[in-house]
A = this chain, B = another copy of it.
């Protein structure tokens, strides 16, 4: 693999910053693409460009994993793919359950990106008795009553919640009680979990609202610019000033 005997065991302890962890999958994806094109090595500059980050940041990120990489050359692609995969725990298989097989749950079940890297859909669970047995993405849906049994039989530690908001906390509680310690939540609710359980949320509505904020801000600046140089209105005329359409003082 690498050339010379690598230096120290590195910062290796267990202090990988959260921000770095969040970027490792990005690097891994870029590296996998390079690997498929049989590229043997890559410089931090190139890889950083592919992953859309600063090259110094990338090097620092990798430094937390150890001293892979050869000065003057770059990083060995295959080696790095392996190291990152191992660090992320993708060398083992993670059985996952999806709870709530509505539009979204079904889409997730069909999503190819699941199986691609170490994740395996162990079961689909829904509260609707009418769905029980019905196959989605080739996997028969099981009823919520079976939840605990499914978790335990399959050694599931990662659960995906795609239920309506109202059911999410209850489902979450049951998952946790059954032994799940990581949850990916697609329901638009804040989940309360005990210590030791990780929750990550994916919230379409929130993302859109953040975009709307910036969009409005951009429109505001643009409007200020137009005050000086009136440009041809591009947007429909219903577009109002983003801040000026309401009195400054509120109803109360």
Interface members, chain A 64-105 (any B CB < 8 Å) = 66, 76, 78-79, 82-83, 86-94, 96, 103-104
Q: List the B residue with the shortest CB-CB distance to A5.
A: B252
What's the least CB distance linking A8 to chain B, in Å?
10
Q: Does A124 sit at the interface, judged by CB under 8 A?
A: no
A207→B200 contact, CB < 8 A: yes
Q: Mark A51-68, 1 if CB is under 8 A from B, else 0.
A: 110000000000000100
Residues of B within 8 A of A158 (CB): 208, 211-212, 215
With A52-B192, A110-B103, A213-B88 known as contacts, the answer to whether A206 contacts B26 (CB < 8 A) is yes
Copies in the complex: 2
Residues of B within 8 A of A246 (CB): 86, 91
Q: List the B residue with the shortest CB-CB distance to A185.
A: B207
The segment from A112-120, A127-135, A138-146 that touches chain B is A112-120
Partner of A202, one of B14, B181, B202, B235: B202
Q: Does A36 sit at the interface, judged by CB under 8 A?
A: no
What's the least CB distance linking A43 to chain B, in Å?
17
A211→B184 contact, CB < 8 A: yes
What's the least CB distance linking A90 to chain B, in Å?
6
Given pairs A6-B250, A155-B235, A179-B235, 17 additional interface contacts (CB within 8 A): A5-B252, A9-B249, A24-B209, A25-B205, A25-B209, A26-B206, A76-B252, A83-B250, A89-B212, A108-B204, A114-B205, A117-B209, A158-B208, A181-B218, A182-B214, A184-B204, A198-B215
